[in-house]
Chains A and B, each alone.
Chain A
Amino acid sequence: ASLDNARHLSSLLRAVHFQDHATCFATANGLRVTVEDAKCIQANAFIQAEIFQEFAVQEESVTFRINLSVLLDCLTIFGTGSLPGTTTALRMCYRGYGYPLMLFLEEGGVVTVCKINTQEPDELLDFDFCSTKVVNKIILQSEGLREAFAELDMTSEVLQITMSPDKPYFRLSTFGNAGSAHLDYPRDSDLMEAFHCNQTQTNRYKISLLKPSTKALALSCKVSIRTDAQGFLSLQYMIRNEDGQICFVEYYCCPDEDITEAEL
């Protein structure tokens, strides 16, 4: 694969970088990079083949596990500053099972070659989240949520999300040392692009697992928040890159069962 501006890839990967390791999955459609934690949360970054100047996959699909911190250090070897006019060009090659991932990066006549060892891919969680099972769905403009997420009370163990066809419509709550905080978004707010809530649902998620999604939120222009009957959460972020192309990052999270069961 080759890319004129390596930042198109590196900024997206940083949005899912909350663990050292990631699984890369390449098909003719593009590249998907998945990061998981605690068997409760999964983040996926999708970079479609169209974003790349060249993208070819030999077999039907190619999968490998790689150290994401190392990959990001290599992609940003010439620095992370986004000075206008200076872009790093990238070529990536993967020969197959057991081979390292080769990166060729070039900026201003200087070439860096990286060889990153790959590993056996792990089994990934399948959240089995499909549109037919969605109970509640909201699409918001990201700027509305950015401040809220950046200022989440981290002394609270959970983030509680309430979605309802009635008041309070959409509420984010935390229960920290200083007290509880509730942030309500009315359904007729300018920031609300779509509101499809059928049932009142209140779910709690471990805040430490969701905090990394703030990175994806910061990059995105829109976010869709969906829950299914079990309370599984899907956050989909629409991200526009420097050239105006669209990419997606998705976070899936299990509800915090310890507390939910206690409530029952």
Chain B
Amino acid sequence: MRFGAKIVDLACLNHFSRVINTIAKLAKSCTLRLTDSKLYFILSDKVANGGVSMWCELCQGNFFDEFQMEGVAAEHNEIYLELVPENLSRALKTAQSAKAVKIKLTNKHCPCLRVAVELPSLSSSSRIVTHDIPVGVIPRRLWNDFREPRVPDFDVSIYLPALKTMKSVVERMKNLSNSIVIEANLSGEMNLKIETDLVSVTTHFKDLGNPPWASEDGYQSSVQDRDLESMAEARIDIKKLQQLLAGQQVNPTKALCNIVSKRIVHFILLHEDVSLQYFIPALA
């Protein structure tokens, strides 16, 4: 099992750091899956996470100038590692003006991701700052736990409103209530609602647009049969929603959510070269 990669371009480096920062805000610890073409940051829906799950996919070619990996075995050319993204995020903070960053999987005393940051210096030899981030190697027999989640049979799919507005509103609502109801319909309307003994607040968004989904297994027809005005709703933990919104450092190219009434809300945030899916289950 081997892995080595290098980033030389500063813009790619900053972009990669931003992605890691977003992941670090969403998960204390997660799984990093490496294939020869992609990197995946995966959080599976264990009870410890409050049922939240995440799937983030990046094309390595968009970030790395060099990328070599050799998986566990020829037929399974992949590596699964357990890591704390905050550690990686902190290591990359030192790389803000770096000449190059090399990431390598090592196993001196225990498995680590070694991040070597080459910094510019006045003398002819460059300074290198090395961070060793401990990782856990996930054995092949557990790989099934980390499969890509299916898009659920949603009741309504709708584009999200401007994230900045959504972020402000959800942050204020977080002061007032622990749970929030997201409801939306196929006429491009979405409401965010909280209700407690002291106060009830509803924010109405209109003209959001509903994304068209390619018909698969004919479930598009079941969505078409649905009354356009009728709302699908789910009550979710407001902190989880706020974490998702607060973690977005750049505006996504496309942002939408799929609601399965009373069961789960599936958020999809697409940037040019990163896709992030986040599932928040409905509260009992």
Contacts and interface: CB of A to CB of B under 8 A. Distances in A.
Contacts of A111: 203-204
Interface stretch (B76-84, B129-137, B165-173, B229-237): B165-173
Interface string A102-138: 0000011111111111000000000000000000000
Interface in B158-199: 161-162, 165, 168-169, 172-173, 175-176, 197-199
Contacts of A110: 161, 165, 169, 203-206
A73 B172 contact: yes
Give the bracket for the number of chain A residues in contact with chain B: 20 to 34
A78 B200 contact: no
15 contacts: A70-B176, A70-B199, A73-B176, A77-B169, A77-B201, A78-B169, A108-B165, A111-B203, A112-B204, A113-B201, A113-B204, A114-B200, A115-B199, A115-B200, A115-B201
B203 A77 contact: yes
A114 B201 contact: yes
B199 A74 contact: yes
Contacts of A114: 199-202
Contacts of B161: 110
Contacts of A107: 165
Contacts of B202: 112-114
Q: What 5 pairs between A and B have smallest CB-CB spacing?
A: A79-B168, A112-B203, A114-B201, A116-B199, A115-B200
Interface in B199-231: 199-207
A239 B165 CA distance: 29
A233 B176 CA distance: 35
A2 interface: no
Give the bracket for the number of chain B residues in contact with chain A: 20 to 34
Given A70-B176, A73-B175, A73-B176, A112 B168 contact: no
Given A77-B201, A112-B204, 11 more contacts: A70-B198, A70-B199, A73-B172, A77-B172, A77-B203, A110-B165, A110-B169, A112-B202, A113-B201, A113-B203, A116-B199
B206 A109 contact: yes
A162 interface: no
Contacts of B176: 70, 73
Nearest to B194: A114
Interface string A52-76: 0000000000000001011001101
A20 to B, nearest CB: 10
Contacts of B205: 110
A112 B193 CA distance: 9
A193 to B, nearest CB: 39
A78 B200 CA distance: 16
Contacts of B201: 74, 77, 112-115
B198 A78 contact: no
B114 to A, nearest CB: 41
Contacts of B198: 67, 70, 116-117
A107 B203 CA distance: 11
A22 to B, nearest CB: 14
A111 B190 CA distance: 11
Nearest to A108: B165
Nearest to A75: B172
A110 B167 CA distance: 13
A78 B205 CA distance: 13
A114 B201 CA distance: 4
B229 to A, nearest CB: 17
A110 B162 CA distance: 10
Nearest to A101: B199
Given A70-B176, A77-B168, A110-B161, A117 B197 contact: yes
A42 B258 CA distance: 50
Interface string B137-171: 00000000000000000000000011001001100
Contacts of A113: 201-204
A111 B204 CA distance: 5
A10 B280 CA distance: 33
B132 to A, nearest CB: 41
Contact of B199 (A108, A109, A117): A117
Contacts of A77: 168-169, 172-173, 201, 203
B251 to A, nearest CB: 15
A170 B84 CA distance: 59
Contacts of A69: 175
Given A73-B172, A73-B175, A78 B165 contact: yes
B208 to A, nearest CB: 10
A74 B198 CA distance: 12
A78 B168 contact: yes
A76 B172 contact: yes
B125 to A, nearest CB: 46
A79 to B, nearest CB: 4
